């Protein structure tokens, strides 16, 4: 048996530290001098001997979204004087031009806004096991429904993605029409796999495939699909530049789809373990954000014990509380004590006023990498949100709560989290609510890790992962519900059926991580289903049904603030310093992986004394 306090070689040291922490909690104030000397980042201008990767705006042609005062005011011919026009949707039209012409276009009488285009990110998680062949856990729970003749016949489903192989034998017979709003073809692997999962669940559904590259493309795609009168729209992408408050340029389009009778289904995102949100904190006034109350300025990718290589995309979002502020993401190598990547100091703004900075880096050679957030200018009094949609699948300091990605934040979207059938658990990477405006965010949870055989991932059989798989699974089940009910079902009716027939996998009732629970296909289509393993809420509702070993618990611990971490360690339904003591005496060797994750308060993948300290500071 190994308890956290036994990690220290001298028990007295533990008692001294605990006593000190009690003093901190009692007075509620911790000064910078009392914090442990951990994770300090140097000033950015100290990097002089290393080649630093920097994004450069330059004079290359760039794509912008031009917004007019009204759709009839757009003069496309006038815009061609500055560059090449692209997709047009409602009041917006895309223009690829030199940045030097930006001021001139903004001065056109009918133009009210010009901003760089926003690009969606696919919601497929590149996680270990994604290349495994489909196996015994590939059951989707729909076989009995199919045998009963419920196959989604004549249900029209629109799919919006980067690209498709419409002639692929796995989907060819279902494709009715294709449309592209892109300037050039996109990679077909992701979109084709999304479509294949729809055909696995609803084999007689009819598919409308729409290829997109930008936010304006997505608007145009929704408009096109509504003109085709589709029943369901599946979108397994997200736009990290947008705040998740449900109020942005895609909101009206999704609401219009609902009003028109089309159910809009969006993937929740895969950012639960690559998301951080909170007040910008700089107690030592060095301009560098502190990820924890104990003062750590470095956030390891993907943890502090491994090196990272490959590409990475980082967004920082904030909404100015008064005067304009500027933050930027940096990548730092602690081994050589130098920054290896910085952004180009540009700040972007959305049409609703939120601001964001973006860093994209390719071909990072294997090395230790830390994420640093630098305050460049302004009052530094804002709440910041950090999202890594591509690159490492985990960061050391992460906050899963409110990691949902737009447009899954729109209230009329059926937003779908990911459920792993094998271990019978919510996928750890699956983005969570609540939204920034306080709604639950997640509606339902769908199966992920689904085998596809389209051959587009350099393998005859491939396990498609992430909420990218869960959304089309939900879309296929929705088609079965529509097929099995008399008359036309409204989006609200289909949503109610999916929610009311779902199985709880976390807390009883609706929660911000799994929504109403994992979709039960058999119950949703009113078919007797015995083949598929379904969720078992009795064993998965709380990872500690018998309390925490060695913690002298009064009962099962609870998640006080619904952030995925169980602060009520001793199970007394409160959150006091007794929970810190209980965690210190927990028998860590007897914890399962799911239990470890629930007690990993410093988000480093381990349960050790740092978690006791972090829980104490949080308290």
Q: What is the pLDDT of residue 216?
A: 96
**Active-site position among 119, 165, 180, 190:** 190
Nearest Cα to 464, choosing from 157, 140, 168, 217? 140
**Active-site position among 205, 211, 294, 468:** 468
Residues 605 and 593: their CA atoms lie apart, in Å, by: 10
According to DSSP, residue 236 is labeled: -
Element (H, E) at 45: none
pTM of the model: 0.80
Q: What is the pLDDT of residue 351?
A: 80
Residues 394 and 278: their CA atoms lie apart, in Å, by: 18
Beta strand pairing status for 121-122 and 237-238? antiparallel
Contact 174, 479 (CB under 8 A): no
Tell me the CA distances in angstroms from 330 to 48, 276, 309, one per residue in order: 15, 15, 16
**Active-site position among 90, 161, 217, 600:** 161
Residues 26 and 9: their CA atoms lie apart, in Å, by: 27
Is 468 annotated in the active site? yes
DSSP labels, 520-556: -HHHHTT----SS----HHHHS-S-TT--TTS--SS-
Residues 466 and 125: their CA atoms lie apart, in Å, by: 5
The torsion angles phi and psi of 19, rounded to 5 degrees, stand at -60, -40
Q: What is the pLDDT of residue 562?
A: 66
Nearest Cα to 385, choosing from 300, 276, 288, 289? 276
Is 294 annotated in the active site? no
Is 190 annotated in the active site? yes
CB-based burial label for 528 (10 Å; 0-12, 13-18, 19+): exposed
Q: What is the pLDDT of residue 541?
A: 56
Q: What is the pLDDT of residue 424?
A: 86
Q: What is the pLDDT of residue 36?
A: 36
Q: What is the pLDDT of residue 551?
A: 67
Q: Crossing angle, helix 251-259 and helix 491-500, to 10 degrees?
A: 90
Tell me the CA distances in angstroms from 450 to 129, 219, 307, one per residue in order: 11, 29, 29
Contact 543, 598 (CB under 8 A): yes
Longest dimension (CA), the chain: 79
Q: What is the pLDDT of residue 344?
A: 75
Q: What is the pLDDT of residue 87?
A: 95
User: What residue ranges define each of the domains in the chain, with the CATH number in brackets?
Assistant: 4-27+544-618 (no CATH), 122-271+411-538 (3.40.50.200), 284-390 (2.60.120)
Q: What is the pLDDT of residue 7?
A: 47
Bridge partners, residue 122, by sequence = 237
| Cα-Cα end-to-end distance for the chain | 27
Tell me the CA distances in angstroms from 445 to 435, 442, 463, 515, 595, one per residue in order: 16, 8, 18, 7, 21
**Average pLDDT per consecutive 10 residues, the chain (619 residues; last block may be shorter):** 49 47 39 48 61 47 93 95 95 94 95 92 62 47 91 97 97 98 94 98 98 97 98 97 94 97 98 96 95 92 91 94 89 94 85 89 95 94 94 93 97 97 90 96 96 90 94 98 90 96 89 95 69 44 70 73 77 77 77 74 72 75
Residue with tokens 């350099």: 458
Q: What is the pLDDT of residue 434?
A: 96
């Amino acid at each position: 048996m190994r308890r956290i306090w036994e990690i220290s070689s001298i028990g007295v040291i533990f008692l001294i530290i605990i006593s000190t922490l009690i003093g901190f909690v009692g007075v509620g104030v911790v000064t910078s001098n009392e914090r442990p000397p951990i994770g300090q980042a140097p000033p950015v201008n100290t990097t002089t001997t290393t080649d630093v990767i920097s994004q450069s705006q330059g004079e290359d042609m760039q794509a912008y979204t031009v917004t007019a005062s009204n759709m009839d005011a757009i003069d496309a011919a006038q815009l061609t004087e500055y560059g090449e026009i692209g997709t047009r949707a409602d009041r917006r039209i895309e223009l690829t031009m030199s940045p030097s012409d930006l001021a001139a276009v903004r001065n056109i009488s009918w133009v009210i806004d010009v901003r760089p285009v926003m690009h969606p990110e696919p919601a497929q998680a590149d996680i270990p096991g994604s290349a495994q062949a489909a196996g015994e856990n590939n059951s989707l729970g729909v076989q009995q429904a199919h045998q009963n003749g419920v196959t989604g016949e004549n249900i029209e489903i629109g799919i919006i993605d980067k690209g498709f192989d419409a002639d692929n034998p796995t989907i060819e017979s279902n494709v009715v029409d294709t449309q592209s709003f892109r300037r050039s073809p996109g990679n077909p692997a992701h979109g084709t796999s999304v479509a294949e999962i729809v055909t696995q669940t609803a084999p007689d559904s009819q598919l409308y495939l729409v290829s997109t590259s930008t936010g304006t493309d997505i608007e145009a795609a929704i408009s096109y699909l509504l003109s085709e009168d589709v029943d369901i729209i599946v979108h397994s992408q997200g736009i990290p530049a947008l705040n998740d408050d449900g109020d942005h340029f895609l909101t009206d389009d999704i609401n219009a789809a609902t009003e028109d009778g089309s159910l809009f289904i969006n993937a929740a995102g895969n950012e639960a373990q690559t998301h951080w949100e909170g007040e910008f904190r700089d107690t030592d006034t060095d301009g560098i954000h502190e990820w924890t109350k104990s003062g750590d300025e470095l956030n390891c990718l993907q943890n502090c014990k491994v090196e990272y290589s490959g590409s990475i995309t980082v967004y920082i979002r904030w909404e100015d509380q008064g005067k304009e502020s500027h933050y930027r993401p940096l990548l730092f190598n602690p081994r050589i004590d130098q920054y290896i990547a910085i952004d180009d100091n540009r700040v972007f703004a959305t049409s609703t006023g939120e601001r964001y900075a973006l860093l994209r880096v390719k071909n990072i050679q294997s090395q230790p990498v830390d994420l640093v957030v630098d305050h460049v200018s302004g009052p530094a009094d804002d709440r910041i949100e950090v999202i890594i949609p591509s690159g490492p699948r985990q960061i050391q300091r992460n906050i899963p709560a409110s990691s949902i990605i737009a447009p899954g934040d729109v209230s009329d979207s059926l937003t779908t989290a990911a459920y792993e059938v094998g271990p019978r658990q919510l996928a750890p990477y699956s983005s969570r609510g609540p939204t920034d405006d306080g709604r639950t965010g997640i509606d339902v949870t769908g199966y992920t890790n689904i085998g596809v055989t389209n051959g587009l991932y350099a393998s005859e059989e491939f396990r498609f992962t992430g909420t990218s798989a869960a959304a089309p699974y939900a879309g296929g089940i929705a088609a079965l519900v529509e097929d099995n009910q008399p008359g036309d079902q409204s989006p609200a009716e289909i949503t109610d059926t999916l929610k009311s027939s779902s199985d709880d996998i976390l807390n009883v009732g609706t929660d911000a991580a799994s929504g109403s629970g994992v979709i039960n296909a058999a119950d949703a289509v009113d078919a007797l289903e015995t083949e598929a393993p379904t969720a078992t809420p009795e064993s998965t509702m709380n990872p500690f049904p018998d309390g925490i070993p060695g913690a002298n618990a009064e009962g099962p611990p609870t998640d006080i603030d619904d952030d995925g971490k169980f602060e009520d360690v001793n199970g007394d339904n409160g959150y006091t310093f007794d929970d810190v003591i209980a965690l210190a005496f927990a028998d860590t060797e007897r914890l399962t992986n799911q239990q470890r994750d629930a007690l990993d308060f410093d988000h480093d993948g381990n349960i050790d004394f740092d978690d006791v300290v972090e829980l104490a500071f949080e308290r």
